[in-house]
Structure 1
Amino acid sequence: MSVRLKLTLSYAGFLMLAGFLLLAAVWVFLLRYVPDEWPALLGIAPNRQLLVHAFTPAAAIVLLVLLVLGLLGGWVLAGRMLAPLARITDATRLAANGSLAHRIRLGGPPDEFRELADAFDTMLSRLDAHVAEQQRFAANASHELRTPLAITKTLLDVARSSPSPPDRELLDRLHAVNVRAIDLTEALLVMSRAGRRTFEREPVDLSLLAEEATETLLPLAEKHGVTVETRGDVAATSGSPALLLQLTTNLVHNAIVHNLPGRGGVWVATRTRPDGVVLEVENTGERLAPELAARLTEPFARGTSRISADHAGVGLGLAIARTITEAHDGTLTLTPYPAGGIRVTVELPLDRSSGIRRAAAPA
Structure 2
Amino acid sequence: MPRRPGVSVRLKLTLSYAAIVLVTGAVLLAVAWIYLLRYVPDNDQGLLGISPNRFLLSRIFGRAAVIALVLLLVFGLVGGWLLAGRMLAPLGRITDAARMASTGSLSHRIRMAGRGDEFRELADVFDSMLEQLESHVAEQRRFAANASHELRTPLAISRTLLDVAREDPTRDQGELIERLHAVNTRAIDLTEALLLLSRSDRGGFTREPVDLSLIAEEATETLLPLAEQRGITVDVTGETTQTVGSAALILRMVTNLVQNAIVHNIPTGGAVAIHTEARPGASVLRVENTGHRLAPELVPTLTEPFQRGTERVRTDEHAGVGLGLAIAHSIVRAHAGTLDLTPRAGGGLVVTVRLPER
Fold match (TM-score > 0.5):
yes
Equivalent residue for 2:211? 205
Q: Distance in 1 between matches of 2:290 and 2:314?
A: 14
1:125-175 CA distance string (max 9 Å, x none): 000000000000000000000000000011111112222364332222111
Equivalent residue for 1:275? 281
Q: Distance in 2 between matches of 1:30 and 1:192?
A: 79
Partner residue of 1:289 out of 295, 308, 325: 295
Q: Distance in 2 between matches of 1:224 and 1:72?
A: 83
Amino acid at match of 1:241: A
1:219 is aligned to 2:225: yes
Counterparts of 1:134-173 in structure 2, within 5 Å, are 134-164=140-170, 166-173=172-179
3-state SS, counterpart of residue 125 of structure 1: helix
Q: Which runs of 5+ in 2 are unaligned?
A: 1-6
Counterparts of 1:56-71 in structure 2, within 5 Å, are 56-71=62-77
CA RMSD of aligned residues (A): 1.4
Partner residue of 1:82 out of 79, 82, 88: 88
Q: Distance in 1 between matches of 2:342 and 2:336?
A: 20
1:50-72 CA distance string (max 9 Å, x none): 12111101001000000000000
Amino acid at match of 2:148: S
Shift of 1:179: 0.9
Q: Distance in 1 between matches of 2:345 and 2:40?
A: 94
Q: Distance in 1 between matches of 2:109 and 2:35?
A: 57
3-state SS, counterpart of residue 290 of structure 1: coil
Contact preservation (8 Å) 2:235, 2:274: yes
* CA 1:165–1:341: 2 relative to 1, 3 Å: closer
3-state SS, counterpart of residue 352 of structure 2: strand
* CA 1:308–1:339: 2 relative to 1, 3 Å: farther
Equivalent residue for 2:110? 104
1:331 is aligned to 2:338: yes
Partner residue of 1:183 out of 165, 183, 189: 189
Contact preservation (8 Å) 2:256, 2:328: yes
Shift of 1:308: 6.7
Amino acid at match of 2:324: G
1:285-319 CA distance string (max 9 Å, x none): 11111111111111111122562742332111011
Equivalent residue for 1:10? 16
Counterparts of 1:304-315 in structure 2, within 5 Å, are 304=310, 307=313, 309-310=315-316, 311-315=318-322
Aligned residue pairs, count: 348
Shift of 1:347: 1.2
Equivalent residue for 1:265? 271
Q: Which runs of 5+ in 1 are unaligned?
A: 352-363
Q: Distance in 1 between matches of 2:253 and 2:28?
A: 72
Partner residue of 1:22 out of 22, 28, 42: 28
- Point out 4+ residue stretches in structure 1 off by more than 4 angstroms: none
Contact preservation (8 Å) 2:284, 2:355: yes
Q: Distance in 1 between matches of 2:124 and 2:240?
A: 40
1:258-284 CA distance string (max 9 Å, x none): 112330111111112212111110001
Equivalent residue for 1:359? none
Identity %: 65
Equivalent residue for 2:3? none
* CA 1:83–1:308: 2 relative to 1, 3 Å: closer
Equivalent residue for 1:340? 347
3-state SS, counterpart of residue 291 of structure 1: coil
Partner residue of 2:328 out of 293, 318, 321: 321
Partner residue of 1:350 out of 348, 351, 357: 357
1:133 is aligned to 2:142: no
TM-score by length of 1: 0.93
Shift of 1:18: 0.5
1:38 is aligned to 2:47: yes
1:118 is aligned to 2:127: no
Shift of 1:250: 0.2
3-state SS, counterpart of residue 288 of structure 1: coil
